[in-house]
Amino acid sequence: SEQSLAFSDPFLNRRRANDFIQPDTRLEGMSQERIRERMKAPQERQREMCEDYYPCELYAYRHGYAAAYRHYFGRRRTK
């Protein structure tokens, strides 16, 4: 009769409520996602710079983002 009470009770004991949740893996996944956001690949950063500059973006549609980045940002002119 005690087993039937355990199955019919919809509420869990406070101590057992979070036994099935693994907070470490969830938090670890969130921290890994934040690290990936901060540390972007160089090609992704270059593409974002090119997308922000309209002439570079137009050039990229025709020749690709790598060529467009080299054309507009590859050699910095200093004077």
Q: What is the DSSP letter of 39?
A: S
pTM of the model: 0.48
Q: Which residue has the tokens 């690949």?
A: 41
75 backbone dihedrals φ, ψ, rounded to 5°: -110, 120
What average pLDDT does the segment 55-63 reach?
94
Q: Is the pLDDT of residue 62 over 90?
A: yes
What is the tens place of the pLDDT at every residue in 1-38?
455 555 566 666 766 766 666 556 666 666 777 766 67
pLDDT, averaged across the chain: 75
Q: Which residue has the tokens 């025709």?
A: 62
Cα dihedral across residues 37, 43, 46, 52: positive or negative: negative
Q: Is the pLDDT of residue 55 over 90?
A: yes
